[in-house]
Amino acid sequence: MEITIAQALYFLPTIFLVLVIYNLLTKSSEAKRRRTNLPPSPPALPFIGHLLLLKQPVHRALQNLSNKYGPIYSLKLGVRNAIVVSSPSLAEECLNRNDIVFANRPNNFLGWKIIGYNYKTMGASPYGPHWRNLRRLSTVELLSAARLNSFLPVRRDEVKRLVNGLVSEVSGRPGFGHVAMRSRLVDLSMNVMMRMVAGKRYFGTEAGEGRCGEGERFKELIREVFELSATSNPVDFLPAMRWVDFSGLEKRMWEAKGKIDGFFQGLIDERRNDDGAKDATERKTMIDTLLSLQESEPETYSDEIIKGHVMVSFNFKISLTFFSPRTDSSAATIEWAMSLLLNHPKILNKARAEIDNIVGNNRLVDESDYVKLPYLQGIINETLRLYPPAPTLVPHQSSEDCTVGGYSVKKGTMLIVNAWAIHRDPAIWEDPTRFWPERYEGAEVEPYKFIPFGMGRRSCPGTGLANRVVGMTLGALIQCFDWKRTNEALLDMLEGQGLTMPKAEPLEALCKPRDCIDNAFTVM
């Protein structure tokens, strides 16, 4: 239907009035901001504030705002106040000097409440005695160097299975064979975690009789949770809309929570009833450790707390944030690294030469070799710099008033640290978008310039495990195969949607087993 000039003129006074009110509100907000010494802020819409500015990919949208408003600025996300920082000095000020102030997580997020066992998991729990106990448990009992070393045979076995699977897929073909890498890398990472947590394999073609179907069901559960957490939930920022259950989101979350809870309870009950496994120290899983603690402190280590720890182990803690879903960070990092190497064959050849020289051709590269392979370390560091597992880290929240960068920050303000922007800042990094592992040779990077796993009290406790899995897996793929792209075009390095910044296009490549592979290890 066409609108006449007369009709358009009829609406002009209303439009003019709305614009005047909006202008007055904007000026009033700006004046208030200056009086209270708040960080600079973009113009905000009534009611929703700056929510519409958080476009995917969020880290790039936040960096565009930083280019205009500076390394610290404030946002109004519905009823939530937030600040965004994108410089090492400000990150250090927030997460070192004001570490305790920003040790909390944002509260009242529906996903964290429902699927996160009412904020009882380590990722979602507020800072306090409960969180400190969970953190101590993770760093001392579950993810200590000694405990990780005890699971080294598991990681070795999974890397060997990955290599064997690739050999089997391309064997018998002349020259190079085509392989899809993402599903294989995810299966490896999930199997490592499942064997550490519950003592059994679930994923891949060799998961074991009766387990393949169970593993697929678990994958479906994971996929369902990711989809739910990817769905925008206005209630997290606009609680007045709580009476509206958008697309049945809350109901679906409760249903998914029930399924996950049942699956994890089954794992706990299985280990609880397996007395033989609990008596074998070398087979002691994370669930076994938690069950032994439950015997002496049943209230502190209830089944619900144990299930929360299992959930954190499978990386759900960040998938429940408001931005987007989490994919497995170790698998994503290896996929990015392989993609970068395929686009830079000279770097790939240099890394292979280092491994051949240090490790040789008579055995598979091992975790103990990693400290002697500085170029491989540089490749992984450079991958984490360009494609950090959590480009905006996990949001923090201030527990009291404080000062950041000379500006006032009120209690209850959400803190977003744009690690992606810090990692690509030309004032900090020479040629910041270039993949250049040599930049780490003989140089030590200051801690707050390189923060792929966060920093401070709430930094990722699984960093040691992630480095071990990524280092040995990537080293084995470089050592055992010749690689090239499926065609002459460079691989698309576009980022997909997701808090862990997954690669938009799953990695597919051509590979050929090297002559040394039979000497490296006996094919299982």
CATH number, domain of 262, equals: 1.10.630.10
Tell the burial category of 4 from Cβ atoms under 10 Å away from its Cβ (0-12, 13-18, 19+): exposed
What is residue 438's predicted lDDT score, i.e. its pLDDT? Answer: 97
Tally of domains in the chain:
1
The helix, strand and coil proportions of the chain, stated in percent and rounded to the nearest 5, come to 55, 10, 35
d(CA 400, CA 411): 4
DSSP code of residue 368: G
What is residue 523's predicted lDDT score, i.e. its pLDDT? Answer: 41
And the tokens for 360? 């040789």
Domain presence at residue 89: no
Start-to-end CA distance of the chain, whole Å, equals: 71
Domain presence at residue 439: yes
Backbone torsions φ then ψ of 275, nearest 5 degrees: -65, -35
Given a contact cutoff of 8 angstroms between Cβ atoms, the answer to whether 303 and 265 are in contact is yes
d(CA 60, CA 43): 19
Domain presence at residue 143: yes
pTM of the full predicted structure? 0.88
Domain presence at residue 91: no
Domain presence at residue 205: yes
Given a contact cutoff of 8 angstroms between Cβ atoms, the answer to whether 414 and 397 are in contact is yes
Tell the burial category of 524 from Cβ atoms under 10 Å away from its Cβ (0-12, 13-18, 19+): exposed
What is residue 200's predicted lDDT score, i.e. its pLDDT? Answer: 86
Backbone torsions φ then ψ of 285, nearest 5 degrees: -90, 175
User: Can you give the residue range of the structural domain that contains 347?
Assistant: 129-396+429-520
Angle at 151 between CA 147 and CA 153, to 5 degrees: 150
Give CA torsion, residues 466, 469, 474, 480, to 10 deg.
180
Domain presence at residue 52: no
What is residue 447's predicted lDDT score, i.e. its pLDDT? Answer: 86
Domain presence at residue 96: no
Confirm or deny that 94 is annotated as ligand binding.
no
Count of CB atoms situated within 10 Å of the CB of 252: 16
Q: Give one word for 280, left, alpha or beta, with left for phi > 0 and alpha for psi -120 to 50.
A: beta
Domain presence at residue 282: yes
Per-residue pLDDT of the chain (524 residues; tens, 9 = 90+): 444 444 444 545 555 555 555 555 555 555 555 557 999 999 999 999 999 999 889 999 999 999 999 999 999 999 999 999 999 999 999 999 999 999 999 988 887 788 878 888 888 889 999 999 999 988 888 889 999 999 999 999 999 999 999 999 998 778 899 999 999 999 999 899 999 999 988 887 665 544 567 777 887 887 777 667 655 677 788 887 777 665 678 888 889 889 989 999 999 999 998 865 544 544 589 999 999 999 999 988 999 989 888 877 765 433 433 333 344 789 999 999 999 999 999 999 999 999 999 999 899 999 999 999 999 999 999 999 999 999 999 999 999 999 999 999 999 999 999 999 999 999 999 999 999 999 999 888 888 999 999 999 999 888 999 999 999 999 999 999 999 999 999 999 999 876 668 899 999 999 999 987 776 654 44
d(CA 302, CA 287): 12
